[in-house]
Chain A
Amino acid sequence: MITSRKISTRAGSINVFEGGEGPDLLFLHAAGGVSADNPFLKALAQSYHVRAPQLPGYGESDDSDNIHDMLEVTLHTFDVLEKLGMSRPLLVGHSLGGMIAAEMAAIAPNDVDRMALICPAGLWLDAHPVPDIFTLMPREFPEYMFHDAEAGKAMMAGAQGGNMNDPAFLIPFLVNNSRQLGMAGKFLFPIPERGLKDRMYRIKARTVLVWGASDRLFPAPYAHAWKEGIAGSALVIIPEAGHMVPLEKTEATLAAIGRLR
């Protein structure tokens, strides 16, 4: 059972999903956001006391003009932790969320002791330029995000299943897209790299990297670059999964995170 509540931060009112019992876990969502019925969130709540804040601009969280850059969103996330009364939870971040978690661990290495980064954003390899997600049309997302694009289409149906020529569908779709990716763009546009490579040497957290073997957004060389960048980190590559590995291979993702218990 996932519930939600609001907390007040400098960046405005933030919506936090919460559920489950067990060790504290803070889940940081990807650029696509997270909702109460997210199957991965529900699965985490089977074993952990999960809190999943929505970034400003996402869902019920306020829009925020106070967040401009990576440092501000990182400090904002520490503010959220503080408001939730959480101390050194297990940090789990997917994609953009993984980028924020890693930044937290680099900025305050003594305050983050365990984290699972699921195909995080944040590095750039000239030899392997990542696709520009800001130019993708909704119908193009599944092939980049999922190992099984057809199954992915079905999973994303709610997000892209409407008629783009119908203003009643289109306008709310565009508003949502603009709020969410407008905020995510502050950290990901035009190149999803904000200098973490120069700071990641500071990370002390025990780190598990979780990667879908057929991730087409951040392909395998990124997994290895992260592993090299974080001393002592473990890399778990999950077969037959793409960038949406938490949805495509939920059990395997949970097992990888379980290494940190």
Chain B
Amino acid sequence: MKFTWFNLMPWPHLPDDFRETNRSVWVDIDQALFDPVKCHDVYNDYLDLLEYADQLGFDGVGINEHHQNGYGLMPSPNIMAASLARRTSKAAVVVLGNSIALYNPPLRVAEEFAMLDIMTGGRFVGGFPVGTSMDTNFCYGTIPGLTREKYAEAHELIIRAWTEKTPFAFNGRYTKLRHVNIWPNVLQTPHPPIHIPGGGSVETYDFCVDNTYSYSYLSFSGYLRAKALMDGYWRRVAEREVDNSPYRAGFAQTVFVAETDEEAERLYSEYAFYFYNRCLHVYPGFADAPGYRTIKTIQTGALNQYMRPTYTNMTWKDLVEGGHVIAGSPETVRQRFEELIKSLRVGNIFLLMHVGNMPKALCQYSTKLFAEKVMPHLQDMWPEWKEDGRFWCKPLAQRAIPAPLPVATPDMVPAQ
């Protein structure tokens, strides 16, 4: 198993009456709710947490890209990744990912991922989301009906830039470049492993199979509701007659660990409610620009703004029993993760352990319990696929270590 400690980096200062007084946490969220001085501390705490996860032995530390979003303070995850590259040493830095249709030229992603791959010494896993409609269409202005074509072209350019050994010309509809020759280029061969966040687009299943990418379902509604979608993915994998390595799939799950189930509710419910009620309060008109989803995907009845679960009246019991969150004692959490991993057949888990406005110390408590009392029991769940390295990074054996910060001494002061 590969456990990635993932941080969405939510804004923790949304007011109690946020739902009542705002129409959306995303796209047109009120500027007055933002405070850059507070954000300075928020960023610092969130990076501390990711670095803590590295210390505790998680396989990866994960971050992602959102725009104009009150539950995701990372328009550029690559900036966070660059910081993590220096302050973590063991965990993979998992950037899940860059919305490649939004970069102009998309070669920028090839370049920045190459830099991160090198800075981390090959401890790098990348991702290429199409991006949500909120990010891609409403915040970044990409035309919905052309988003996928633009994405496909960007993908071709990036992979060619990483793998071709001589400069080439690229004549795309959206990007025209006479001399593609990124320098520096990637460390891992042929390139870093790629995970594709998907939300049920059937075309994405084939895209992952075709390119040996891992399909990641980054849902907030938990593993029980994800079963139908992941079954669809595995059916497609079988139809395509490729192996069914569990590392072909990943899943994001909100999780809280405490000494007992009761303690979990007492410690964490407040923060779960903050996330599900305030952070997921998105105006439905932003959820799916017409033309963003393919007709084929709509016809499969994939989730859309009209049929998402409504969290407003959910109790802690509802959240836990519905699998939206996995919470409780280490044993409870272990059992439910075992069920999740087996039922969805996933080798990559993205752990949403910092949730909503959770304080740092409490998050560290939960994280430490998971690392010490849950994770060790789950790590060898797919022994027959232990050697499957196709979907994870291959770091250098000998990696450079950042030097301790120099201490200023009198003889370092330039002579007068």
A168 to chain B minimum Cβ distance, whole angstroms, is 10
- B285/A180 in contact, CB under 8 A: no
- State in angstroms the CA–CA spacing of A170 and B146 once bound together: 23
A190 / chain B contacts, CB cutoff of 8 Å: 137-138, 141, 143
B299–A175 touching, CB < 8 Å: yes
What chain B residues lie within 8 Å of A165 (beta carbons)?
306-307
Residues B298 and A171 in contact, CB atoms below 8 Å apart: yes
Complex Cα distance, B251 from A190, in Å, reads: 32
The proximity string for A residues 48-75 relative to B, scoring 1 for CB distances below 8 Å and 0 otherwise, is: 0000000000000001010010000000
Distance in Å: Cβ of B13 to nearest Cβ of chain A: 26
Q: B306: which of A65, A170, A185 is its contact (CB, 8 Å)?
A: A170
B138 contact set on A, CB distance < 8 A: 134-135, 190
How many angstroms between the C-alpha atoms of A180 and B289 in the bound complex? 12
- The answer to whether B145 and A183 touch across the interface, beta carbons within 8 angstroms, is yes
Majority SS of interface residues in chain A?
Answer: helix
B110 vs chain A, min Cβ distance (A): 24
Residues of chain A within 8 A of B149, CB atoms compared: 65
Cβ of A76 under 8 Å from chain B: no
**Cβ contact of B145, chosen from A174, A185, A191, cutoff 8 A:** A185
CB pair A189 B306 closer than 8 Å:
no
Cβ-based interface call for B173 (8 A): yes
In the complex, what residues of B have CB within 8 A of residue A137's CB?
284-285
Shortest Cβ gap from A32 to chain B (Å): 12
Most buried by B among A136, A164, A174, A186: A174
A185-B286 in contact (CB<8A): no
Assuming the contacts A135-B138, A135-B283, A185-B290, asked whether A174 and B146 have C-beta atoms less than 8 A apart, the reply is no
CB distance from B317 to the nearest CB of A (A): 24
From B146, B285, B298, A178 is in contact (CB under 8 Å) with B298
Contact B285 A135 (CB under 8 A): yes
Task: With CB as the reference atom, state the residue of chain B lying closest to A68.
Answer: B146
Q: Chain B residues near A140 (CB, 8 Å)? A: 285
Question: Which bracket fits the contact residues of B?
Answer: 20 to 34
Tell me the complex Cα distance, A135–B284, Å.
8
Known: A68-B173, A175-B298. A182 touches B307 (CB 8 A): no
A189 with B143: CB separation less than 8 A: yes
User: Does residue B403 face the partner (Cβ distance < 8 Å to A)?
Assistant: no
Q: How far is the CB of B343 from chain A (nearest CB, A)?
A: 24
Residues of A within 8 A of B284 (CB): 137
Pair A134/B141 contact, Cβ less than 8 Å: no
Which residues from B are CB-within-8-Å of A186?
Answer: 143, 145-146
Q: Is the CB of B299 within 8 A of A185?
A: no
Contacting residues, chain A, for B189 (C-beta < 8 A): none
Contact of A181 with B by CB under 8 A: yes
Are A189 and B295 neighbours in the complex by a CB distance under 8 Å? no
- Are A164 and B145 in touch, CB under 8 angstroms? no
- Whether A35 is near chain B, meaning CB under 8 Å from some CB there, is no
Q: Which residues of A contact B299 (CB under 8 A)?
A: 171, 175
In the complex, how many angstroms separate the beta carbon of B131 from the nearest chain A beta carbon? 14
B19 at the interface (CB under 8 A from A): no
Which A residues from 20 to 70 make CB contacts under 8 A with B? 63, 65, 68
Q: With a CB–CB cut-off of 8 A, which chain B residues contact A191?
A: 141
Chain B contacts for A179, CB-based, 8 A:
295
CB neighbours of A182 from chain B (8 A): 144-145, 290-292
- B277-335 residues with Cβ-Cβ distance < 8 A to A are 283-286, 288-293, 295, 298-299, 301, 304, 306-307
* Known contacts A137-B285, A178-B290, A185-B291; A170/B307 CB under 8 A: yes
Query: Could you give 16 example pairs across A and B, Cβ below 8 Å?
Result: A68-B146, A134-B144, A134-B285, A134-B289, A134-B290, A135-B285, A136-B285, A137-B284, A167-B301, A170-B306, A170-B307, A178-B290, A182-B291, A189-B289, A190-B137, A190-B143
Given contacts A164-B306, A171-B301, A181-B290, 14 further A-B contacts (CB under 8 A): A134-B144, A134-B289, A140-B285, A165-B307, A167-B301, A177-B290, A178-B290, A178-B293, A178-B295, A179-B295, A182-B144, A185-B145, A185-B291, A189-B143
- Which 6 residue pairs of A and B lie closest in terms of their CB atoms, listed nearest first? A182-B291, A181-B290, A135-B285, A182-B145, A164-B306, A190-B141
